[in-house]
Amino acid sequence: MDYQGNIFRPPSEANSILLQVTTGCSHNRCTFCGMYRQARFTVKEETTVLADIDFAARHCRRQTRLFFCDGDALVLPQARLRTILSTIKEKLPWVTRVSTYANARNIRGKSPEELAELAQLGLRLAYLGLESGDDLTLQNIDKGADCAELIAMGRKLRTAGIKLSVTVLLGIAGRERSAVHARETGRALTAIDPEFVGALTLMLVPGTPLAAAAQRGEFHLLDAREMLAELGLMLAETELSRGSFHANHASNYLPIKARLPAGKAAALARIAEALEGGVALKPEFLRGL
C-alpha cells in the first residue's frame, strides 16, 4: 500500500483496510488538532489508489471494513469517488462497510443525490467532528463552520442513508465556558440524532495554537473532575432516538458506553458515583491520543 505521511484513523477502524485517497486536511486550521499540521494537502493519483485496491484484493481478504484516509475523502469529485467505490465493490466483494472522515464544507459540496449514490455504492459511515455545539467555542477553535451548519450537514448525511458517528471534545471550551459548551453540545447532538457519539477528552498537543494559548495563560484546561462534570451535563442534555454514546476513548478519565435512551440513566449514575469518589478515574500516565 502507498502511504504518505502519518496515517490516522478512528479507534473503531483498527482492523479496517486503510486506503489513503488524500493526504493531510484541506482545512487544517483547528487550533487543537496536530494530526496534519505538517502535512501538505493533496489528492492522490487515481492510478495509485486503484493499485492499492489491487494490493488489498490480494492481501486483505480477511478484513471486511475499509476506511478512507486522510481527512478529506469527500473533497474528491463525484466521478472519482464513484470509480473508487465501484472498484472496491468489484475487487473487494467481502468488504461490507466503507467509511470516511467528513467535514461541513465537503458535505456541503455534495448534493443529496450524490451522497445517496455514494451510500448505494458502499459508503456506509461518516465520522463528523462536531467538537462543540457552542458557536463561540467553534469560532475560537477555528472549526470553519457554526453549529447550525454542522447540524444541517449531519442531517444531510443521515438523510442520504449514510450512518453518522459524531465526535465531541470535553474541555475544548476551557473552564470559563464549560457549562455552556456541555449544554449546547448536548442540544446539537439531539438535533442531529446520530447513530454514534464519541466523546473524547481534550489533551493539549505541543505545537498547536491551543497548546500555545494554554502556555500563555489564555486557555485554562479543565482538571479530571471538571471534565467528568462536563461529560455528565452533556449527556444529560443529549437525547438520541436510538444511538450509542461512548466516552471510552484512551483520552477519557472514565469509560462510559451507553445505548440511548435506555442506558442513559445508568451512565449518568456512574458519572455521579465517580464525581463522589466511588469510582477510580484513569491516571494521567494511562491516557493517550
Q: Residues 229-246: pLDDT tens digits?
A: 999 999 999 999 999 999
Q: What is the pLDDT of residues 129-182, one digit of tens each?
A: 999 999 999 999 999 999 999 999 999 999 999 999 999 999 999 999 999 999
pLDDT tens, position by position, 49-81: 999 999 999 999 999 999 999 988 999 999 999
Report d(CA 155, CA 210) in Å as an integer.
29
Our measurement of the distance from residue 264's CA atom to the centroid of its chain's CA atoms, rounded to an integer in Å, reads 21
Q: How would residue 104 be classed by pLDDT, with cut points 50, 70 and 90?
A: very high
Q: Contact 170/227 with Cβ under 8 angstroms? A: yes
pLDDT of res. 39: 82
d(CA 238, CA 114): 30
In the chain, the percentage of residues whose pLDDT exceeds 90 is: 96
Residue 289 confidence (pLDDT) above 90: no
pLDDT (mean) for 247-255: 95
pLDDT for 40 = 87
pLDDT at res. 36: 87
Place of cell 488538532: 33
Answer with the residue of higher pLDDT: 108 or 40.
Answer: 108
Say if CB 267 and CB 258 are below 8 A apart: yes
Q: Quickly tell me which residue has 500500500 as its cell.
A: 1
The answer to whether the beta carbons of residues 92 and 59 sit under 8 Å apart is no
187 contacts 239 by C-beta, under 8 angstroms: no
Share of the chain above pLDDT 70, in %: 100
β-bridge mates for residue 18, sequence order? 67
**Cβ neighbours for 267, distance < 8 A, ≥ 6 positions apart:** 235, 245, 256, 257, 258
Average pLDDT over residues 10-29: 94
Query: How high is the mean pLDDT of the chain?
Result: 96
DSSP string, 39-105: PPPEEPPHHHHHHHHHHHHHH-TT--EEEEESS-GGGS-HHHHHHHHHHHHHH-TT--EEEEEE-HH
H-helix segments, the chain: 46-59, 78-91, 104-108, 112-120, 135-140, 147-159, 178-192, 209-215, 224-236, 264-275
- Residue 207, pLDDT score: 94
Q: What pLDDT is recorded for position 159?
A: 98
Sign of the CA dihedral with 261 first, then 266, 272, and 275 last: negative
Enumerate domains of the chain plus CATH numbers.
11-279 (3.20.20.70)
Q: Helix, strand, or coil here: 197?
A: strand
* pLDDT at site 72: 86
Beta-sheet pairing, 97-102 with 65-69: parallel
Q: Distance (Å, rounded) from C-alpha 192 to C-alpha 164?
A: 9
pTM for the structure as a whole:
0.96
C-alpha to C-alpha distance for 155 and 162, rounded to whole angstroms: 10
55-93 exposure pattern, b = at least 16 Cβ within 10 A, e = fewer: ebbeebeeeebbbbbbbbbbbbebeebebbbebbeeebe
Rounded CA separation 221/224 (Å):
10
| Close Cβ partners of 184 (under 8 Å, ≥ 6 residues apart) | 132, 133, 134, 135, 147
